[in-house]
Structure 1
Amino acid sequence: MEQEAMLDALHRHKIDLADRVLVVNSGGYLGESTRSEIDYARASGKPVSFTEPQ
């Protein structure tokens, strides 16, 4: 669990540094952590786009 929390914090930090977020969602699949990161990016005002329709 500690490693998972560290990875979540790292991903959020990367989102903070980004101008926009591109989600690579092969086959339209989005996992729970990816959904959380999308929500975080949107709440931070970052544009989010996807490689495939949701």
Structure 2
Amino acid sequence: MLEIFQRWIGWKKVTEVEIQEQRDIRMRSQYFDPIERFPDRIDQLLDALNR
């Protein structure tokens, strides 16, 4: 938290490595494993076939 404040007021500059780490964290949080959604998709398919 202190580092974020220091960057905000300009006392500490963000390095390229830190920028890349922040991007990686954001991408990992947005990533979903297709296998996790597989049962839901199968349920949708079976519901559509039963109509």
* TM surpasses 0.5: no
TM-score class, shorter-chain normalisation, is 0.3 to 0.5
Structure 1 or 2, whichever has the larger Rg, is 2
Q: Which has the larger strand fraction?
A: 1
RCO higher in structure (CA 8 A, sep ≥6): 1
TM-score by length of 1: 0.34
Q: Which has the larger helix fraction?
A: 2
TM-score by length of 2: 0.36
